[in-house]
Amino acid sequence: MLRVEVMEERRLGPVVGLGTWQTFDGDHMLARRVVDAALGAGMRVFDSSPMYGQAERSLGAALAERRSECTVATKIWAPSVDEGRRQFDQQLSFFGGRVDVEQIHNLVAWREHLPWLLAEQDAGRIERLGVTHYTESAFGELCEALRTGSFQVVQLPYNPWERACERELLPLAAELGVAVIVMRPVGGSGGDHRRRLELDDATREALGVSTWGEALLRWALADERVDVVIPATTRPARAEENARAGDGTTLTSEQRTLVEQLASSTGRPSGSG
């Protein structure tokens, strides 16, 4: 399989990164194999959360000696400031004393967390602050958070089945200069039937891709407001396959429309990580 060692870069680094929801948990060996493949294929952005079981610990161990090359985007997922601070202390131990992108997961207690996170950013232990949410009904509040001017990153779902962010969130992020991380770029874990689409030779040729997964990642990256897509996987070979979508070749608007037509023959994604 062709490996992409030099990937297109946008504001957060190489445009294809790796998510860790429901993939690593406490399996250090699996995490190491997937992360090694991801790094070898040029990925540098790694997303996690205290919500993902032991994934942060596994990711930290897997990055180990190569931590300085990477952008760790993790999250605070806590109803109280005390619990959030405990999560942050653990992250400092997992990730070499700093977090590159600290996101408030699903906006949980974001107004309460913001002051201490800003102080940590001032102290240099956090580089960028972000907010995330997976559901359209929370996008209004995500916009409200972005309008405070305190966040440099937003993480949102974006794939041919979930395009609600195109209405207000993506335009606002562009207006404010906020970087965009795309969760669920291949349709979200739990949506297996959507990912199993087999492309025939003519469609592969028309799209300039080898697989449907690659087509979905290229679809999201064709939007210039997107900085990085973070597909999760338990398979090293798939991390390499996904990295190919970051080679800088952009889908034309006709190719993008074809991806949307193909996607419409499948269902809607589910899952909330």
Q: What amino acid occupies position 16? A: V
Q: Is 215 in the site for ligand NAP (CB under 6 A)?
A: no
Query: Min. distance of Cβ 227 from ligand NAP in angstroms?
Result: 14
**Whole-Å CA distances, 178 to 131, 138, 148, 251, 269:** 11, 18, 12, 23, 26
User: E strands along the chain, which residues?
Assistant: 9-10, 13-14, 45-47, 71-76, 99-104, 126-132, 153-157, 179-183, 228-229
Q: What amino acid occupies position 148? A: T
In this chain, which of 195, 204, 222, 250 binds ligand NAP, going by CB under 6 A?
A: 195
Which one-letter DSSP state was computed for residue 18? B
Interface of this chain with ligand NAP, residues 240 to 259, rule: CB under 6 A: 241-242
Please give the size of the binding site for ligand NAP, defined by CB under 6 A: 32
Q: Is 238 in the site for ligand NAP (CB under 6 A)?
A: yes
Report d(CA 197, CA 238) in Å as an integer: 16
DSSP states of 243-268 as a string?
A: HGGGSS----HHHHHHHHHHHTTS--
In this chain, which of 58, 87, 91, 233 binds ligand NAP, going by CB under 6 A?
A: 233
Site string for ligand NAP, 41-60 (x = CB under 6 A): ------x-------------
In this chain, which of 24, 88, 94, 134 binds ligand NAP, going by CB under 6 A?
A: 134
**Whole-Å CA distances, 256 to 62, 195, 206, 230, 243:** 35, 17, 11, 19, 19
Here the tokens at position 167 are 């209405």
In this chain, which of 13, 60, 185, 236 binds ligand NAP, going by CB under 6 A?
A: 185
In this chain, which of 132, 142, 158, 226 binds ligand NAP, going by CB under 6 A?
A: 132
Q: Is 14 in the site for ligand NAP (CB under 6 A)?
A: no
Interface of this chain with ligand NAP, residues 139 to 168, rule: CB under 6 A: 155
- Positions that interact with ligand NAP (CB under 6 A): 19-21, 23, 47, 105-106, 132-134, 155, 183-189, 195, 211, 213, 230-235, 238, 241-242, 271, 273
